[in-house]
């Protein structure tokens, strides 16, 4: 994304008046003109267009101050700007020579207001015949996806040893330097319980410098190098994968877990070793088979919006994954279904996969079932997937299963929220 800015000197006197010529106009245009602020998933590029009342700070190598050009809707103007008597290098900075990155709102409009770009003239000039300056992005954008049903956003960004506060134009250079603070600064804050699962917020951060990104005290990511200017990066407000101890055979054992959709349960990547009755699977706390860090999920949370859902397509005569739900892939070995793999589709979840393992019944059908804690008129509810010869015959919760039936159990983390870590 390049913003092309043309500045033209204007004066009522073109007959050799020795007084400095005051008043300049700036015609600004943006390559690949778009809406005020948007992004392209294909290229990961953030697009930007100028709007009325935008301001650009302009300076040159002969002066120490900055001129402020304001967009009147069709062009930028500055009545105080003066051409130089001798050729000078000119520089322009948007949204100004100082950019405050704290207290952002998380929406597109605020990104546009803080999307810092800078540029300079290719050759030294007085500006007598106008200036042409190409501005290039100097920031990146974080696309923060909320992972909890009711979470919190408290985004802080740190350089090697200080907290990011904003940007300051580098005098006589086409760049900004990062303004920092010894005390923690907040780039975006939304109170606990006000951030819904899957909600997306956008945060402008410096490009080209290594940074660490926090949500409260929770470290989300540390970049290996500086982020690329003009690009956006998807991160989640908390981890979507991890390890948590389970009490297995009397030993505290780390077990990996994965979340497949925003707000969804955090599934263990493995089953409990032995099949269980519904009654045993429904235990909680210290009575649970893996201890109090884990529990058995409800049918509602497994099949909520964005969850493990499929619909029967009468026309095609098969189960079809519901739009917005994880995709399904069935793997086979020697002609026998071996696993069912669910892969997330939401932003921030496309690299997350959950695998269910086969149990073949006496008829040769492949089952990928697990208990839920939901019950119905004395029956237990089992989440069922049955496959025969590559065709899915059953998909979803079955509400009339005997509680004495033994079935596999796929635990989930007992905590509801990662970002404020409340059970």
- Is residue 167 located within the same domain as residue 261? no
Average pLDDT of span 255-282: 98
Average pLDDT of span 139-162: 96
Rounded distance between C-alpha atoms, residue 109 and residue 238, angstroms: 25
Q: What's the domain range around 285?
A: 241-413
- Is residue 407 located within the same domain as residue 299? yes
Domain count along the chain: 2
Asked which of 168, 203, 236 is the last residue of a domain, the reply is 236
User: In terms of C-beta density within 10 A (0-12 exposed, 13-18 middle, 19 or more buried), how is residue 270 classed?
Assistant: middle
**Closest by Cα among 264, 239, 269, 265 to 354:** 269
- Is residue 390 located within the same domain as residue 328? yes
Rounded distance between C-alpha atoms, residue 132 and residue 357, angstroms: 64
Mean pLDDT score of the chain: 89
Note the pLDDT of residue 17.
45
Note the pLDDT of residue 11.
37
Structure tokens, 273: 């070793």
Comparison of pLDDT for 14 and 348, the residue scoring more:
348
- Is residue 217 located within the same domain as residue 248? no
Residue 18 within any structural domain of the chain: yes
The three-point CA angle 408-412-414 to 5° equals: 135
Residue 423 within any structural domain of the chain: no
- Is residue 230 located within the same domain as residue 280? no
Residue 421 within any structural domain of the chain: no
- Is residue 247 located within the same domain as residue 228? no
Structure tokens, 238: 């908390």
Asked which of 177, 201, 236 is the last residue of a domain, the reply is 236
Residue-wise pLDDT tens digits, 349-374: 999 999 999 999 888 899 999 999 99
When mean pLDDT is compared across 210-224, 237-251, 390-404, 407-421, the lowest value belongs to: 407-421
Asked which of 236, 260, 291 is the last residue of a domain, the reply is 236
State yes or no: pLDDT of 149 exceeds 70: yes
Residue 419 within any structural domain of the chain: no
- Is residue 228 located within the same domain as residue 281? no
CA 153 to chain centre: 12
Residue 268 within any structural domain of the chain: yes
Residue 215 within any structural domain of the chain: yes
**Three-state SS across the chain?**
CCEEEEEEECCCCCCCCCCCCEEEEEEEEECCCCCCEEEECCCCEEEECCCCCCEEEEEECCCCCCEEEEECCCCEEEEEEECCCCCECEEEEECCCEEECCCECCCHHHHHHHCCEEEECCCCECCCCCEEEEEEECEEEEEEECCCCEEEEEEEEECCCCEEEEEEECCCCCCEEEEEECCCCCCEEEEEEEEECCCEEEEEEECCCCCEEEECCEEEEECCCCCCCCEEEEEECCCCEEEEEEEECCEEEEEEEEECCCCCCEEECCCCCCCECHHHHCCCHHHCCCCCCEECCCHHHHCCCCCCCEEEECCCCEEEECCCCCEEEEEEECCEEEEEEEECCCCCCCCCEEEEECEECCCCCEECCEEEEEEECCEEEEEEEEEECCEEEEEEEEEEECCCCCECCCCEECCCCCCCCCC
State yes or no: pLDDT of 7 exceeds 60: no
Residue-wise pLDDT tens digits, 83-121: 999 999 999 999 999 999 999 999 999 999 999 999 998
Note the pLDDT of residue 36.
56
- Is residue 89 located within the same domain as residue 231? yes
pLDDT-derived band of residue 4, with 50, 70 and 90 as boundaries?
low
pLDDT-derived band of residue 32, with 50, 70 and 90 as boundaries?
very low
- Is residue 305 located within the same domain as residue 407? yes
- Is residue 44 located within the same domain as residue 123? yes
Residue 225 within any structural domain of the chain: yes
Residue-wise pLDDT tens digits, 35-65: 456 666 655 677 777 888 999 999 999 999 9
Does 95 sit behind a cis peptide bond, omega within 30 degrees of 0 on the bond before it?
yes
The three-point CA angle 398-305-277 to 5° equals: 30
Which residues are paired to 76 by β-bridges?
Answer: 26, 71
- Is residue 192 located within the same domain as residue 170? yes
State yes or no: pLDDT of 5 exceeds 70: no
Structure tokens, 262: 């925003």
User: In terms of C-beta density within 10 A (0-12 exposed, 13-18 middle, 19 or more buried), how is residue 299 classed?
Assistant: buried
Note the pLDDT of residue 26.
62
- Is residue 289 located within the same domain as residue 228? no
Residue 418 within any structural domain of the chain: no
């Amino acid at each position: 994304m390049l913003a092309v800015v043309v500045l033209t000197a204007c004066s009522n006197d073109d007959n050799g008046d020795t007084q400095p010529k005051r008043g300049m106009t700036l015609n600004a245009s943006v390559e690949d003109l778009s809406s005020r602020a948007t992004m392209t998933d294909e290229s990961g590029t953030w697009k930007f267009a100028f709007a009325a009342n935008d301001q650009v700070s302009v300076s040159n190598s002969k002066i120490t101050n900055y001129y402020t050009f304001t967009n009147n809707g069709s062009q930028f103007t500055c009545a105080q700007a003066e051409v130089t008597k001798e050729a000078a290098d000119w520089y322009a900075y948007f949204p100004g020579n100082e950019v405050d990155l704290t207290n952002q709102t998380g929406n597109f409009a605020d990104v546009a207001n803080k999307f810092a770009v800078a540029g300079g003239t290719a050759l030294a000039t007085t500006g007598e015949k106008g200036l042409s300056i190409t501005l290039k992005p100097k920031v990146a954008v974080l696309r923060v996806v909320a992972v909890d049903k009711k979470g919190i956003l408290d985004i802080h960004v740190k350089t090697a040893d200080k907290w990011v506060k904003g940007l300051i134009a580098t005098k006589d250079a086409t760049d900004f330097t990062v303004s920092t603070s010894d005390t923690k600064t907040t780039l975006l804050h939304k109170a606990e319980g006000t951030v819904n699962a899957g909600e997306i917020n956008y945060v402008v951060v410096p490009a080209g410098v290594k940074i660490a990104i926090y949500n409260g005290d929770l470290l989300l990511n540390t970049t290996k190098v500086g982020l690329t200017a003009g690009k956006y990066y998807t991160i989640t407000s908390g981890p979507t994968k991890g390890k948590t101890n389970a009490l297995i055979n009397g030993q505290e054992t780390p077990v990996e877990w994965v979340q497949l959709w925003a707000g969804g349960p955090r599934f263990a990547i493995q089953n409990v070793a032995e099949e269980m009755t519904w009654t045993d699977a429904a235990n909680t706390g210290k009575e649970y088979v893996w201890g109090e860090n884990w529990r058995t999920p409800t049918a509602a949370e497994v099949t909520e919006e964005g969850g493990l859902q499929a619909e029967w397509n009468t026309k095609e005569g098969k189960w079809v994954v519901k739009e917005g739900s994880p995709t399904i892939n069935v793997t086979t070995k020697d002609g026998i279904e071996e696993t069912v793999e669910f892969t997330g589709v939401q932003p921030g979840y496309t690299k997350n996969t959950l695998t269910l393992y086969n149990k073949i019944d006496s008829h040769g059908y492949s089952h990928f079932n697990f208990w839920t804690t939901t019950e119905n008129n004395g029956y237990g509810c089992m989440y069922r997937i049955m496959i025969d010869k590559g065709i899915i015959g059953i998909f979803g919760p079955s509400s009339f299963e005997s509680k004495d039936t033994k079935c596999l159990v796929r635990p989930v983390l007992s905590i509801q929220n990662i970002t404020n870590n409340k059970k």
